Amino acid sequence: MKEVLDHWLEAGEWWDGDGPREVFRVVTGGGGIFELSREVEKDHSPGGQAKAPGEWRLYKVYD
């Protein structure tokens, strides 16, 4: 991975029990652009920050 182009949070399909996820849009050395995501542990406390364990997944590939 060469560079992180962007980074954001998504709430996911919370109504189906999905948890929030963190997404990174990256560019690789070969010029490919990908989005990688990982689940953020659901924090049920009212003002809590997202905690960040979870395995990495390939979320999107840009042609």
Partner 1 sequence: MFSHLHVHSQFSFLDGASRVEDLVLKAATDGSPALAVTDHDNVSSAIPLAKAARAAGIKPIHGAEVWAASPPEARPTRADGPPTGGHLTLLALNAHGYANICRLVSRAHLENERLKPRLAWDALAAHNEDVIALSGCRRGEIPSLVLSGEYDRAMAVARRYRDLLGPDRFFIEVQNELLPGTTAVLHDLKELADRLGLRLVATNDVHYATKDRFPAHDLLTCVRTLTKINDVHPERRLNAENHLKAPAEMAALFTDFPEALRATEEIVERCRPAVDLDAALFPRYAVPEGTTAAAFLRQVVDQGARWRYGAITPAVRQRLEHELDIITRLGYEDYFLLVWDVARYARKEHIRFAGRGSAADSAVAYCLGITDVDSVRRGLLFERFMSLERAEKPDIDIDFDSRYRDRVTKYVYDRYGADRVAAVATFNTFQGRSAIRDLGKAMDFPPEEIDRLAKRLPWIGADEVEQAFEGLPELRQGGLLPARRYQRLFEAAKAVAGFPRHLGTHLGGLVISARPLTEVTALQEAAKGIVVCQLDKDLAEDAGLVKLDLLGLRTMGAVEEAVRSIKGSEGRHPAPPPVPFDYDRLPLNDPEVYRLLRTGKTVGVFQLESPAQRALQARLGADSMEDIVASVAIIRPGPIKGNMVEPFIDRRRGREPVTYLHPKLKPILEKTYGVVLFQEQVIEIATAVAGFTPGEADRLRRVMSHARSRQEMQEIGRLFVEKAATKGVEAQVAETVFGYMAGYASYGFCEAHAAAFASTAYKTAYLLRYYPAPFFAGILSLQPMGYYPPNTICVEARRRGVAILPPDVNQSQEEFAVEEVAVEEVASGQGIRVSLKAVKGMSREGLDSILEARAAGAFTDLFDFCARTTVDRDIIENLIKGGAFDALEPNRRALLWLLDDALARRTEGGLLKMAGPAVHRPDVDDFTEFEKIAFEHDILGIQVRRHYLSLLRERLKAAGFVTSRSLATMARGRRVKVAGLLVRPHRPPTKSGRTVVFLSLEDEFGLADVTVFESVYQKYGQYIFCDPCPPLIVWGKVERRGKGVSVTAERLAHLDPKDLPRRRQRPSPTGAS
Q: Which residues bind partner 1 (CB under 8 A)?
A: 6-11, 13-15, 20, 23, 25, 43-49
Smaller CB distance to partner 1: residue 44 or 63?
44
How many Å apart are CA 1 and CA 56, to the nearest integer? 14
CB of 63 to partner 1, least distance (A): 18
Place of tokens 């182009």: 5
Place of tokens 């997404």: 23
CB of 3 to partner 1, least distance (A): 12
CB of 33 to partner 1, least distance (A): 13
Work out the burial of residue 40: count CB atoms within 10 Å of its CB; fewer than 13 is exposed, 13-18 middle, 19 or more buried: buried
